[in-house]
A and B are shown apart, each in its own frame.
Chain A
Amino acid sequence: MTWKLVIHGGCGAMRPENVTAEQEELARAGLNLALDAGEAILASGGAALDAVEAAARALEENPAFNAGRGSVLTADGHVELDAAIMDGSDRRAGAVAGMRTTRAPIAAARAAMEHSPHVLLTYEGADRFAAEQGIEQVDNRWFVTPERQAQLDRIMAAGGKFDTDIKYG
């Protein structure tokens, strides 16, 4: 049996003419770092579940992508984080939604799967559960980058309709 890892960093209106060479390079480097994290596990016979968590964590920490640090902003200027993980061997699953202070959303989703009787935990309760599980808590501003703030400012100045065209996600 062979191993395989596939990742995405989101889709949207990116075209060669609207993505700078530097943004493209940062994204490619981030994707390769995430592959490094997952491949190290799979190539040494490790579990798919551990590999997808490791790859997702690498992407959450990378401000080039809309997850964790570098997430887009809600209309009132803060970050809300959602994540889910699922193990195909027994269809266990864990998910979190609307979190604001948990640094590693995918780790919280996995903790929900492995250390709670539930699948989906939300908002303050999800952050409280993650904190009880020892998952690092940070101020919501830690997730905010100047680029995402500028994107929100542009959308709000244009009337504030959420980003249905996925220009920024």
Chain B
Amino acid sequence: TIGAVACDSRGHVAAATSTGGLTAKRWGRIGDSPLIGAGTYADDRAGAVSATGLGESFIRAVAAHELCAQIRIGGEGLRAALDAVLADVGALGGTGGLIAVGPNGESAWGFTTPGMYRASAGPEGRQVAIYAE
């Protein structure tokens, strides 16, 4: 699974996710990536989110929308909302990762697997990483 979230200079956010799913899947199984609100969500009132991991848990947690709702309704910060959603996914038995950006250009990422291919760019420069720091 791959994903991208962005905030532009007008404060608009957007999210994109694309995947081949899980190896050896059958029966027409679809994970969270194409389900709006689960693996992909964007709302200028909160932020943009893309997920990767065991899709079934991200679907049940409605992860991407939940992260935005914790910000929009709960008043949480981006980092705290992301950590809370990853913990919720874990409580449902799943592992994976999230990337998120806010309409003010703030960003966060987190993952509960040994590694996540991730990178960011902004006027301040770039970061590229794979393993837990």
Contact with A along B1-41 (1 / 0, CB 8 A): 11111111111111111111111111011110111100111
CA distance A51 to B21 in the complex (A): 23
A51/B2 in contact, CB under 8 A: no
A56 touches B128 (CB 8 A): no
Q: Cβ of B14: which chain A residues have Cβ within 8 Å of it?
A: 47-49, 51-52, 85-88
Beyond the given pairs A3-B122, A88-B44, 18 more chain A to chain B contacts, judged by CB atoms under 8 angstroms and listed by A's residue number, are A4-B106, A8-B2, A8-B119, A11-B96, A11-B111, A12-B113, A28-B130, A34-B4, A38-B4, A59-B18, A67-B20, A75-B24, A81-B19, A82-B18, A83-B34, A86-B16, A109-B18, A169-B19
Interface residues of A in 130-161 (CB under 8 A from B): 143, 148, 151-152, 155-156, 160-161
In the bound assembly, the distance between CA atoms of A159 and B86 in angstroms comes to: 30
Contact with B along A91-106 (1 / 0, CB 8 A): 1010111100000011
Binding site for B on A (CB under 8 A): 1-16, 19, 24, 27-28, 31-32, 34-35, 38-39, 42-43, 45-49, 51-53, 55-56, 59-60, 65-68, 70-76, 79-89, 91, 93, 95-98, 105-106, 109, 119-120, 122-123, 143, 148, 151-152, 155-156, 160-164, 166-169
- Determine the chain A residues whose CB is within 8 A of the CB of B41 once the complex forms: 86
Whether the Cβ atoms of B34 and A6 lie closer than 8 Å is no
Min CB distance B110 to A, Å, is: 10
Looking at A47, A65, A88, A105, which has the most chain B CB atoms within 10 Å of its CB? Answer: A88
- Which residue of B1, B44, B126 contacts A10 across the interface (Cβ within 8 Å)? B1
B100 interface residue per 8 A CB criterion: yes
Among B17, B20, B28, B131, chain A packs the most CB atoms within 10 A around the CB of B20
Q: Is the CB of A3 within 8 A of B20?
A: no
- Cα A153 to Cα B25 in complex, Å, equals 13
Chain A residues with CB under 8 A of B39:
84
CB distance from B63 to the nearest CB of A (A): 13
| A120 lies within 8 A of B34 (CB) | yes
7 A-B residue pairings within 8 Å (CB atoms): A4-B107, A14-B114, A67-B19, A72-B23, A86-B48, A120-B35, A169-B20
A96-B34 contact in complex given A6-B118, A8-B2, A27-B130, C-beta closer than 8 Å: yes
- B62 contacts the other chain (CB 8 A): no
Closest to A83 in B: B18
